[in-house]
Structure 1
């Protein structure tokens, strides 16, 4: 690995193990360049890429059809980074299979942590455990959500007992707003007892406590309904409905199951 010039990448990349504060649109991975493309060293917990099947050890070979083979890390960085909220298609090789995934770039912030500030927070010592670092980092960006702490460009494991106070970065995203199903009523929302059982590209499965006409809605993180499926006279018990997800990017969605007398909702990940 020492033969490669490793560059940490958070949705695109940290150009060096330690860097100044930087904000950009990215997908949440750390990488370094190899001849075939970019090697995924780590997937940042909670980032857009973590909602796909991309994992450590995979190699991203193309971005939106643009090959990364034989390119530089700077070129790969430019392809992976981009406009916030814009979907991007990644072609990658995993265990010999060539696969693809669509992710939506999010606004990410990589922030340096000064060793003196960390020490001042917890007293005069050079090493900390992961929990102490997470506590310190979480309080440094009140309007953002902490995804991970990096030490020399690598994600600090949650069970790490000793971490140096120097060369630290925090990876943040904008705090997500909780999206609730929209209901045109001034009387409050009554649950209908429905339970989401499955959410895939081809079908949505759920159980109903009471039979009746049912409307299933899929809403994006902004609360906008991206798909609606109506089931007339749905029976009590298990139901499975087909839906069209062809133009819907991977990500986290609210799936609401509505009947005339009540509504149930649950967040689910579309891969």
Structure 2
């Protein structure tokens, strides 16, 4: 990062307002607007984005194909946040390289921490683990798991000493058993290197790096699976499968190409 950009980010961090209580569909990152898009300041441990390669220092430049360049922070947040359980495609720049990833939004809650909450979270413990995090949640957060505590947007270590309740927020996520069925590929899964080549109402064309039984799935805009086609012993290289999309409405769909050792997924428009 150049000196000017680094100075701008540090200034933004120093001037960051206290986070208000919010309940929303999100991916688990804290961001700051920069000219090219939004700078990822923190990836919340255990959140949806933590299952991807997105890291602190990356810049998200587009969401579902909508550019964030030159936008303001409210517009960018509005694009990243949205319907819970719905997949969202992020295009980002990491170390000069542009990549894209699909993340399924989760039900997240950011809530102020008071003195009593800080004491309950930290106490006199020398160490802190996920099991203890989960047992903290109660009341409004009873169906959510506490992932992290933030101080002005920065994650605070669980074993930190002398922590004040001033400007602290807890970040919660819906417990996994509260989610509906997963429609988007699991981002923890290894990519199989497959690539979608074309997508229309009659055929889906793709290339495989490695031969093997392949399942092509099509999911709708709300994450529901609308089609699944199995190809036994699909060869490496170009493949094409027939399917019937005549009765589906036009719009964006997720096409996932699954093999036993990995998954690739991409959004595509059905005209």
TM-score normalised by L of structure 1: 0.60
Q: Secondary structure at the match of 2:82?
A: coil
Give the equivalent residue in structure 2 for 1:135. Answer: 132
Q: Secondary structure at the match of 2:85?
A: coil
Distance, in Å, in 2 between the alignment partners of 1:49 and 1:77 is 15
Give the equivalent residue in structure 2 for 1:162. Answer: 161
Give the equivalent residue in structure 1 for 2:33. Answer: 33
Distance, in Å, in 2 between the alignment partners of 1:226 and 1:148 is 38
Q: Is the 8 A contact 2:42 2:153 kept in 1?
A: no
Q: Is the 8 A contact 1:201 1:270 kept in 2?
A: yes
Q: Secondary structure at the match of 2:176?
A: coil
Q: 1:270 to 1:36 in 2, by over 3 A?
A: same
Q: Secondary structure at the match of 1:84?
A: coil
Q: 1:90 to 1:122 in 2, by over 3 A?
A: closer
- Alpha-carbon RMSD across the aligned residues, in angstroms, is 4.6
Q: 1:62 to 1:169 in 2, by over 3 A?
A: same
Q: What 5-or-longer segments of structure 1 have no aligned partner?
A: 9-14, 180-196, 206-213, 233-239, 258-265
Give the alignment of 1:206-245 within 5 angstroms: 227=228, 229=230, 231=232
Give the alignment of 1:2-81 within 5 angstroms: 3-4=8-9, 6=12, 17-81=17-81
CA deviations 1:212-250 (Å, max 9, x no partner) are xx99899x9x99797564648xxxxxxx9x999x95478
Q: Choose the corresponding residue for 1:200, options 192, 200, 213.
A: 192
Give the equivalent residue in structure 2 for 1:102. Answer: 102
The 10-residue stretch of structure 1 (41-50 or 128-137) with the greater mean CA deviation from structure 2: 128-137
TM-score normalised by L of structure 2: 0.60
Question: How far has the Cα of 1:36 moved from its partner?
Answer: 1.4
Aligned residues: 220
Question: How far has the Cα of 1:112 moved from its partner?
Answer: 1.4
Q: 1:20 to 1:59 in 2, by over 3 A?
A: closer
Q: Which is richer in helix? A: 2
Question: How far has the Cα of 1:53 moved from its partner?
Answer: 1.7
Q: 1:52 to 1:109 in 2, by over 3 A?
A: same
Q: Is the 8 A contact 2:32 2:41 kept in 1?
A: yes
Distance, in Å, in 2 between the alignment partners of 1:130 and 1:24 is 30
Q: What 5-or-longer segments of structure 2 have no aligned partner?
A: 1-5, 180-188, 195-207, 242-251, 266-271
Question: How far has the Cα of 1:154 moved from its partner?
Answer: 0.8
Q: 1:91 to 1:122 in 2, by over 3 A?
A: closer
Q: 1:117 to 1:109 in 2, by over 3 A?
A: closer
Distance, in Å, in 1 between the alignment partners of 2:17 and 2:126 is 20
